[in-house]
Structure 1
Amino acid sequence: MSQFTTTAQATAAAARPHLIALHRAVVGLLFACHGAASLFGVLGGAHGGGTVAVGTWPGWYAAVIQLACGVLVVLGLGTRGAALVASGSMAYAYFTVHQENALFPLQNGGEPAVLFCWAFLLIAALGPGSFALTGRRE
């Protein structure tokens, strides 16, 4: 093994928790923005400028999950649990809303749901990384 390989591996190992934290923060923020848009009409609102009516199934509940889980993931509080709930909600969204329109995400508009689902599953598996409010206890 060359000196370069050893140095590159050491650098990658040292950067890993920070890269995980950056991934967690970006994905969580984007998810929270979707929830805030649907609930409060900010950032363009839900589906072209409006809000989701309170208590409607599944839209309002999905928006609450997006906002709450997104904020928890950004902060690194209960990260694994929040990410697992977020991942499950996106799997549900894909299979109940998108897949009935076509088989592939590119055809049925389900790319965001699939990407969020897998991104949150990765966060649930890897944990919060560095700079989480709960620290390394998760």
Structure 2
Amino acid sequence: MLNHVMIGSGNIEKSKSFYNAVLGVLGAGAPMEHKNDTGNTRLFYIHDGSTFSVSEPINGEPVTTANGSTIGFLCKSPEQVKELHDVAVANGGTSVEDPPGPRESTMGVMHLCYFLDPDGHKICGIHWPS
């Protein structure tokens, strides 16, 4: 259903360093970089049929985060959920909510982690056991 997710960044080089490390855990390589006609840089991480993009705001306004929104990245194992979290925190992210681990819900057991990126966007790592 989704083609891509794009978030804003107030410091594209810091975001690039952060997401190169974090998305590298999931197997994503270096991003394609694009400068649009207004001179703004956009990073495109393309992996397993999905695209995650980070962009300097094209309207020149400050970056804001959406309260109540979360971007979830699918992980292959509970260990990868923890690694995603640990790499994020080691690269300038902020751990939020409970520590990485299993959670019981009405949808069954899942392994989760939550952190904020350097611009304050809430990110989730999730693994659904089979």
When normalised by structure 2's length, the TM-score is: 0.31
Structure number with the higher helix fraction is 1
Structure number with the higher strand fraction is 2
Larger Rg: 1
When normalised by structure 1's length, the TM-score is: 0.29
